[in-house]
Structure 1
Amino acid sequence: MSGRPRTLFQTWGSRVTRSIRSSSGGGCGAGRPRGLPDLGAAAPRVEGPEPDDDVLLVAAYEAERRSGDGGQPACPGPPDDGGFCPAAGALWIYPTNFPVRDYQLRISEAALLCNTLVCLPTGLGKTFIAAVVMYNFYRWFPSGKVVFMAPTKPLVAQQIEACSRVMGIPQRHMAEMTGCTQAFIRKEIWHNKRVLFLTPQVMINDLSRGVCPAVKIKCLVIDEAHKALGNYAYCQVVRELIKYTKHFRILALSATPGSDIKAVQQVVSNLLVGQIELRSEDSSDILPFTHERRIEKLVVPLGEELVTIQNTYIQVLEAFASRLIRVNVLIRQDIPNLTKYQLILARDLFRKKSSHVLGVQQGVIEGDFAICISLYHGYELLQQMGIRSFYIFLCGIMDGTKGLTRTKNELSRNEQFMKLFEQLANIFSDRNTASGIVDGNPNQRGNNDEFIYSHPKLKKIRRSCC
């Protein structure tokens, strides 16, 4: 006999079947998802109840429903397989304290029943849909865990606030975890909290260490799902999770699922997606919620100082790229217009055809590819981000924190590179640190009163906003 006392409602063995309207931070509509069994069917009634008994039954049911945290119904007796609570699972809740959009309602309901990739343009409520799905799994599985993964720490912080605002999950049940959260603290969080917001790197680390209770995870939401390619951490998490359990729902979110069909198929396969809910800006059900945009393209010249640095750096690129050209593993191209991606493709092609190349020579060529790819990454930073990001990247190479030791040694022997590196060092030494070059913050200045921008486009943006 169970030591837990039974309520009057449980003792009578009756269940009140009715449509429930509840509130979680506002009004909510309730209904049973299509495809779920009717878990709220009435049990046989006790014969001959008094007229007031029905009223008492309703009151008892309402008391039990409200006894759970956050308006979550209490489970009569132990929950069934996987922690599912039949009382909660008899219906699903959708918030009406926000304007009800039909496409969000339909996508939310579909995502409850199948692993779903949701593709919506930015600003049309992917996070809202995620919050609805998370809240319902939070209710349905009182002992389960709900996880939201985002690729960066700022996104993690942004999403926990948004989900709390939409569905009103109690703050005491939620937690945020990033790489800055110590391992022993994460272990306590996994044990004590039910709704977790974290980066995929944290998730895979805790799964591999056995800290994450994998079998308790019932809903996994993946933001920026288009990143789930190759061996990215999202893919590792899903592969590791299915070793422990197959009873969990995946909701993947992305505004741009892939550049081609092959990329989208990889995302679908890696995340075990069963259906895709796709809307474009021209879709009829989202047209009322989109606004016409006027895009004006402004081309900002790099400026005299940045062009001078660029021309010097191109000479460095030519010195190393010419090695690959001489051994016919890189087709001679316009060096300034060569990209990091083209180098990666050339390296992959070399590896496929390198069976006839001697081991020593193969190692040299691989090393030259590594140097060039690293240098062209710096070239992209210089053109897109400015001299501050470029200089910090070069400092990482020279102090050994980025790149291989060979890269540092090779660059140290290149006269053009060392002159450029010293030139940049002098620029920043006049302002004590690299942060002396302003990246568009008017309150951030160097030792002198001159306001210097890391990139000319920042100056253009500031003038446009004034």
Structure 2
Amino acid sequence: MTNYIKHPLIQSDMVEQRLYQLDLAGRALSSTTLIVLPTGLGKTIVSLLVIAARMEKFGGKALVLSPTKPLVEQHAAFFKKVMNMHEEHIITFTGSVAPEKRAELWKNGKLIVSTPQVIENDIITKRISLDDVCHITFDEAHRAVGNYAYTYIAEKYFENAKNPHCLGITASPGSTDEKISEVCEALHIRSVAVKTESDSDVRPYIHKKEIEWIKIDLPKDMTEIKGLLEKVMEERFTKLTELGFPVHNPKFVNKKELLGMQKKLQEELRGLPDPSVYAAISVVAEIMKVNHAVEIIETQGMESLRKYMERLEHEAY
């Protein structure tokens, strides 16, 4: 006989009870957690259990971030199917939804499933606020290193939310302790919970699978544009050095370091105002925008980059 999850925010007789998922959800609710679980074993269900518990306790909104449009649509379809919530309250955000439309949808949405670049851009442009977001799930959390949008979102979320809580989920956290530590630091995660296919509570659900990794190169036109954007960033870093604010190894600087520099420069303005500090703040803002453009072309393609550039141009007027 199959036992199902019983919760007011989850449809009856829809989600099977699995001990290892309940265990992981319990750990995730006790502390911000990175969950490592093999592919095909229901990481999204663990997210569902955590979201339902957080929304029942705190109300507000929940946010699920996933790196690609197909994954966003897949997760949104799952949540609409299993959550005891009106479909219009489960919102899908991708670059194909106009910014003004997203701002309106955000007001009425309770569970928002989105690509991170969209949320990052809407935070930067102040279209949305994370104040009443009671939970964020970072899907494929191993991406939360360097310049990836997850890092910026987590930083702003834990700065501004009334009841912040996050969950990172991944099947491949990284091959070194340093990489895992970097992911945890970027997402403000305090603990790591790992389940493997050899665990006794997981073994009954294992199915034989074959995985083939396919590596692809960016098309020539995208590579050329990326190169031009990186050249612009190099020029801006040179300008920072000329202003007296050199950046060590700018090729490898990440978004968190840029945010830290921005914060430090803003603190310097509290003393005697210095024109070079104002200029440096402006240059750092430019670097962050160009850096975001590089990320978009790598993860979303030319059309998304074009729309982002159009938005920047519009905001300049």
Please indicate the TM-score interval, normalised by the length of the shorter structure: 0.5 to 0.7
The higher relative CO (CA closer than 8 Å, separation ≥ 6) is in 2
Matched letter for residue 145 of structure 2: L
Q: Does 1:404 align with 2:228?
A: yes
In 1, Cα distance between the equivalents of 2:204 and 2:192? 22
In 1, Cα distance between the equivalents of 2:149 and 2:91? 20
Matched letter for residue 114 of structure 1: S
C-alpha change, 1:198 and 1:103, in structure 2 (3 Å) is same
What secondary structure sits across from 2:105 in the alignment? Answer: helix
Instruction: For residue 152 of structure 1, report the CA deviation from its aligned partner.
Output: 1.1
Matched letter for residue 270 of structure 1: A
**Alignment equivalent of 1:211, drawn from 127, 134, 143:** 127
Instruction: For residue 138 of structure 1, report the CA deviation from its aligned partner.
Output: 2.6
Instruction: For residue 215 of structure 1, report the CA deviation from its aligned partner.
Output: 1.1
Matched letter for residue 216 of structure 1: D
The aligned runs of 1:11-410 (5 Å cut-off) are: 28-29=5-6, 97-142=14-59, 144-245=60-161, 247-292=163-208, 392-393=219-220, 395-396=221-222, 401-404=225-228
Instruction: For residue 161 of structure 1, report the CA deviation from its aligned partner.
Output: 1.0
Matched letter for residue 227 of structure 2: G
C-alpha change, 1:114 and 1:96, in structure 2 (3 Å) is farther
Instruction: For residue 280 of structure 1, report the CA deviation from its aligned partner.
Output: 1.3
Q: What is the identity percentage for the equivalent residue pairs of Structure 1 and Structure 2?
A: 31
Whether the aligned pair in 2 keeps the contact of 1:115 and 1:272 (CA below 8 Å) is yes
* Cα shift readout 1:94-114 (whole Å, capped 9, x = no counterpart): 965433211011111222221
C-alpha change, 1:28 and 1:213, in structure 2 (3 Å) is same
C-alpha change, 1:296 and 1:208, in structure 2 (3 Å) is closer
Whether the aligned pair in 1 keeps the contact of 2:65 and 2:139 (CA below 8 Å) is yes
In 2, Cα distance between the equivalents of 1:207 and 1:405? 22
Instruction: For residue 207 of structure 1, report the CA deviation from its aligned partner.
Output: 1.4
Count of paired positions: 229
TM-score between the two structures when normalised by the length of structure 2: 0.65
Q: CA RMSD in A?
A: 2.9
Instruction: For residue 213 of structure 1, report the CA deviation from its aligned partner.
Output: 2.2
Matched letter for residue 6 of structure 2: G
C-alpha change, 1:129 and 1:404, in structure 2 (3 Å) is same
* Cα shift readout 1:16-65 (whole Å, capped 9, x = no counterpart): xxxxxxxxxx96436xxxxxxxxxxxxxxxxxxxxxxxxxxxxxxxxxxx
In 2, Cα distance between the equivalents of 1:293 and 1:239? 37
Whether the aligned pair in 1 keeps the contact of 2:142 and 2:174 (CA below 8 Å) is yes
Unaligned 5+ segments in structure 2 are: 232-317
Matched letter for residue 126 of structure 1: K
